[in-house]
Structure 1
Amino acid sequence: MAFSQSEKIKGGIIWASTALQTLDALQGPERRGAEGVIRILVNLIAHDVQLSARVAPDDGWREVQSFMEQALVMVASGVGFEAVHHLTKALSRVTTIGQRAMTYLKDEHLLG
């Protein structure tokens, strides 16, 4: 379960980071609308992290959750570009969780 959850969350983090990096090109109502959509996306990813911590326990999810919370604060404060740093850290931790899960699946001969 941890492997599939980590893959889904990684994809979401990459989407959110990419969207945040394009904000500089927007102004006025377009920017405010994009920030709202990004805030919703980051919030959805954060909820997925909470779910993952329940269904696929791993100490790393707490760190990921902390980085996601920091990113949400940055986005809500209107400095979304600074959230990319926290999302990058979250992505690194999620990748580690996924790698551990993959190793376990291989060691148990559950994955070819």
Structure 2
Amino acid sequence: MVTFSIKSELSERIEIFDDASVGNLHSNRQLLGSPEQMGQARWRVSGESNAQLPLKLLGTLAQRDEIPRHVSICQMQDMLDLVIIVDGPTQDSARIIGEKMHSIVGVKSVETIWTPHE
């Protein structure tokens, strides 16, 4: 049996559970961090104007099962400026994601801003 649960707030997250994964739900939440540790991460990324760059940045988030609440892309001559906002990651997770983004070919700078949930 598969159960679908949709939470709608500022963003939508779809969680799919089957009977085998429900037992692991509690341990998975411990890996993500407690609600007190979670916050909002914002990354400001500058890089070479390349159509693959936004996809690579979003792929970095997908590898950690993060869904952006907001993405903006601005092209100025031969540069791209991106802002990506994600609700939920811990401060450490936001820092690690920022480091991974910075290692992508074509990325010139990454600014990571993390604010705790109130």
TM-score by length of 2: 0.27
**Whose strand fraction is larger, Structure 1's or Structure 2's?**
2
Q: TM-score when scaled to structure 1?
A: 0.28
| Larger helix percent | 1
Structure number with greater Rg is: 2
